[in-house]
Amino acid sequence: MGYSIVNISEIEGAGPGGAVRFVRRQLGVEAFGINWFELPPGAEGLEHDETDTGQEEVNVVVRGSGVWRVDGEEVPVREGTFLRFDPDATRCPVAGPDGMTFIAVGTRPGSYEAHGPF
């Protein structure tokens, strides 16, 4: 088959509080990691870096607001915010009063090859 499809409502929550939904696994993606996270109001996500994997990561806030603690700095975010992290950046999402939903995409730097004007 030339494509795969899944709705987020069809993916069971995993991890602490069921906060993460493993999109990559459900779609069979092999080129990059992609996951959906739902944090309840005031909840902290996992503080981590990607030094061991070497992955550059982009997070996109799709609902709610909060902050990301990045190397000790609090970075405010809201719906529509994109954040890019170097592999060695320590980061931790913290949901605001309405909670926060975001998508995380990661892969090793240099794996993307630009084609065309996009």
Q: What is the pLDDT of residue 110?
A: 83
- CATH for 20-94+101-107 is 2.60.120.10
**Domain range list for the chain:** 20-94+101-107
The 10 Å Cβ neighbour count of residue 55 is: 20
With tokens 């987020």, the residue in question is 8
Q: What is the pLDDT of residue 118?
A: 67
- Any residues with CB less than 8 A from the CB of 32 and at least 6 apart, and which? 24, 105, 106, 107, 111
Taking Cα atoms as reference points, which of 36, 66, 32, 68 lies closest to residue 49? 68
What is d(CA 73, CA 16) in angstroms, rounded to the nearest whole number? 24
User: Which H helix or E strand runs over 24?
Assistant: helix 23-27
Query: Mean pLDDT across the chain, nearest whole number?
Result: 95
25 confidence band (pLDDT: 50, 70, 90): very high
Q: What is the pLDDT of residue 114?
A: 81
Q: Work out the average pLDDT over 69-90.
A: 97
Q: What are 26-68's pLDDT values in tens digits?
A: 999 999 999 999 999 999 999 999 999 999 999 999 999 999 9
